[in-house]
């Protein structure tokens, strides 16, 4: 089975801190995604990557950046965390030509 691993289940940070959320997948998938999940809003796409060092903005990229130096790892960066970035962050991956997304179990980030 595909495994998508997010490094932290819970994270608490202070306003203004730089935050790194890490995601690793073990099935050689080309495509990786970062979503945030908020009650009543569903999942919203922040960024995605279709290849190493390639990235594209999703629907809500403001305040975030990403890094994909290796195929299996996709990092989400909050340059200066703010309270409105308190949310559940979900990483996902997908193989080219296959519509099925595989999700990690999420990181609940609280920014105080």
Partner 1 sequence: AQSVTQLGSHVSVSEGALVLLRCNYSSSVPPYLFWYVQYPNQGLQLLLKYTSAATLVKGINGFEAEFKKSETSFHLTKPSAHMSDAAEYFCAVSSTGGGNKLTFGTGTQLKVEL
Shortest spacing between CB 18 and partner 1, in angstroms: 25
> Contact region for partner 1 (CB under 8 A) — 11-19, 67-75, 78-86, 89-97?
89-97
With CB under 8 A, what is the number of residues at the site for partner 1? 27
Show the site string, 29-68: x = touches partner 1 by CB under 8 A, - = not: --x-x-x----xxxxxx--x-x-----x------------
CA–CA separation, 24 and 7 (whole Å): 8
CB nearer partner 1, residue 6 or residue 85: 6
Among 20, 1, 3, which residue's Cα sits nearest to residue 109? 20
Question: How many Cβ atoms sit within 10 Å of the Cβ of residue 43?
Answer: 15
Backbone dihedral angles phi then psi of residue 13, each to the nearest 5 degrees: -130, 165
């Amino acid at each position: 089975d595909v495994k998508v691993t997010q490094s932290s289940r819970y994270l608490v940070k202070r306003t203004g801190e730089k935050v790194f959320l890490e995601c690793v997948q073990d099935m050689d998938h080309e495509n990786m995604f970062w979503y945030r999940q908020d009650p009543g809003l569903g999942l919203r796409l922040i960024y995605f990557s279709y290849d190493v060092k390639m990235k594209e903005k999703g629907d809500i990229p403001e305040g975030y950046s990403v890094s994909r130096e290796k195929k299996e790892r996709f990092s989400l960066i909050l340059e200066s965390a703010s309270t409105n970035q308190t949310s559940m962050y979900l990483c996902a991956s997908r193989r080219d030509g296959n519509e099925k997304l595989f999700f990690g179990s999420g990181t609940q980030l609280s920014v105080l």
